[in-house]
Amino acid sequence: MGMPVYVSTTANPKAKILVYAFLDSASDHSITKDLAKRLKPRQLGRKSVEVETMVGEVQKEEVNIFGDMLIKGYYGGEVALSSAYEWNEIPNSTGEFANHTNVLQQPHLSHLASKLAPQWIYQ
């Protein structure tokens, strides 16, 4: 499920931005171009990665790699991300993203409910 988290950089840890993140341990870390412009993390280089299109074709795409980002952890403190790939956008399906209603069901995130837009915006 996509959950709201605060992201910042090691260069400016107090300038946190509230974003949605997919919280699982199997995925590569990713950042959208829009967030990269706002956050200004340190660019580590570029990489050619294979991505699968919606019709099942594999294509190569050049992406920027950013580093030195911090995510505010559930129970305080911050978790450092060593690197993240930059993408144009988040996935089309936002049905698994948290909103001001279903975030109330997550005790560690309920205090964020007033900062999230109403559910109808996501549908």
* 116 residue type, one letter: L
Which secondary-structure segment (H or E) carries 59? strand 58-72
pTM (global) more than 0.75: no
pLDDT at 121: 47
Instruction: DSSP letter for 12, please.
Output: S
CA 104, CA 111: separation in Å to the nearest integer?
Answer: 8
**pLDDT for the residue 43:** 92
Tell me the average pLDDT across 26-37: 76
Domain ranges of the chain: 2-115
Fold exhibited by the domain 2-115: Cathepsin D, subunit A; domain 1 (2.40.70)
Q: For strands 78-87 and 30-32, give the pairing.
A: parallel
Is residue 56 within 8 A of residue 28, CB to CB? The reply is: no
Q: Report, as an integer, the average pLDDT of 9-15.
A: 89
Give the CA count within 13 Å in the CB-facing half-sphere of 115. 12
**Predicted local distance difference test score (pLDDT) of residue 122:** 42
